[in-house]
Structure 1
Amino acid sequence: MGKIGAVVLAAVVLIVALAAAGTGAMLSAFGDADTQPSRAALNDIPSEYLGLYMHAATTCPGLEWPVLAAVGKTESNHGRSALPGVRSGVNHAGARGPMQFLLPTFQNVIARHRLPKGGATPPSPYSAHDAVFAAAAYLCDSGARDGRDLTGALYSYNHADWYVSQILAQAQAYSGSAAFGADAAPASAALQAINYAQGQLGLPYEWGGDGPGASDAGFDCSGLTKAAYSAAGIPLPRTAQEQFDAGPSVPPEQPLKSGDLVFYGDPSSGIHHVGLYIGGGMMIDAPRPGKAIRVEPYRYQGDDYAGATRPASS
């Protein structure tokens, strides 16, 4: 083994040892005052993944580990998602693994970047080690190096404005200090609600549904928003009309924030639909019978948008 290989192997052994020793050891090895995890990060990120994010970020000057962690959270809840394509197979778009790589993209990355030892042989997008290091390399090549164009790098990872907004907000919540991008992160309750709703993507619309349980397989629109905010410790009424009435309302002249509830219908005669705004003009909602919970624009041609409320501020 050459000198470089020995150094890489030693670093991998260190990560494994630190993960076994606990989060505090990882912080002293890889974190500084500006990038130590927030309490939300420590509570949410498995130690194995936290070590990988911290180590992989050091391979790209200017890339902060909370950004990698935010990608991992959004793509697969740090490998914990049971959706197709995370542990085996592919999702509807052909992506696979905890960082949700398309196979040609992953193969292109590992052809240009030799991944550190410690993953699969040959490297696999299903390996947390390989996927996280490949994601760091991909973001670095796409603009994250030296902080040149982080938003552009994230947009390259997933071509959606809402995705960039979500990653930057999650990264700020994980860092506990540094701001990533121009937009302020949503309140912690709003972020928890968004994270919950993201975990329900792909479930079926079910009239009166309150989520997977003894009798319900999915949600209706207000069942989803109620469950999302319940996960954040904020109780909401059950129906879209009741949630609209509960407020507090967002004045029409104010911009929406991630976590706002957006409503459709006529305030005077009845509200019939609600979604959870996630930034970038997008929302998560349970649209209607026959459709799965999905991300879609909160304004669309012919809509009857009625306004928004901000439960996290109540």
Structure 2
Amino acid sequence: MNISKTRLALLIGLAGGLLLTLVIVSPMLLISMPSFLSDGRTSVDCEDTAQVEEVSDSGAADIPGSYLDLYKEHGEQIGVQWNILAAVGKRETNHGRSDLPGVKSGTNSAGAAGPMQFLISTWGGKARIPMSSTFNGYASDGDGDGVGDVYNPADAILGAAKMLKRNGAPENVRQALFVYNRAWWYVDQVVEIARKYAKSGDVQVPPQAEEECDDSLVEAAPSDIVAKILQYALAQRGKPYLWGGTGPDSFDCSGVIFAAYRAAGLSIPRTTFGQWPFGVKILEGQEQPGDLVFFNAGPGTSPGNPGHVGLVVSKGEMLEARCTLCGPIKVTSYEGRDSRVGFTRPLQNPDVLDQLKRLDNSSL
């Protein structure tokens, strides 16, 4: 099992989200890829949300009837592909038929339990949770008995559907599966199982959709230097948050931006507190890709001293490394967040303008 690094970052990340613990054959949290917009351009349509309806003969033979009903019911309810849910259930515990520790009782060596292999901490702190109680996790009541039971297939499958939905399904299934179990070989295996379960032989999600979206977003950048910044930043999606991290394996909010600018040959301050006064302030509505958006969030922050930052990648969307509990680096919306303080443009800082001139001269 591959447990995520929390340590000191956990203390910094208590401000939002749910527990991200990276465990092979155990669910994870959060990642999404929206349909991007650029200044004055229409959205880039890289989504295929069609639902697979028919079950292949091999799928019908392999999936227990009660499980198939639950995959379809909760997949439709939450809005994710039933065959993806079924493929996860197959890969994790053979639809609950496995006799390995943690499937029907207790936990395995990593603390995962149930037919969909939730970490108990990710489920909500204990295996069975009254749904009237307050908890921080994916515990769900799929059969209406008032209890979220990690061993109950109805509850576990509903919880898995919610998790995949929050992580980007149905549009970005591969990214959602990568967060569910942080290994691309796992993603490939689940997708292959899902194809066999669908009569059409497809999961209805083009594997290259995300890359195509990235290409369109980078091409729409207002300048070559911004394109380089975006290209680096977007490539970091899916990597874990780590307080103080500047890569290459993990980052914090300001660290990924610092590294993206550095990849384009530019030097800006390392921390959020340094980045806020560094850039030229930009009025809301005039922000563009490459700008920074700041939030009054985190310990010791205030409206005049914001502690969280994201990189604008298109109108209304930013790339952010939010916190340990919030999941890996992802593209999210910055619109509607009450804690938003404002925007800055580091590329208009006099020092950066000098750096750009030197870069231009060096290319002659």
TM range (shorter): 0.3 to 0.5
Q: Higher relative contact order at CA 8 Å, sep ≥6: structure 1 or structure 2?
A: 2
After TM superposition, the score normalised by the length of structure 1 is 0.44
Whichever of the two has the greater Rg, that structure is 2
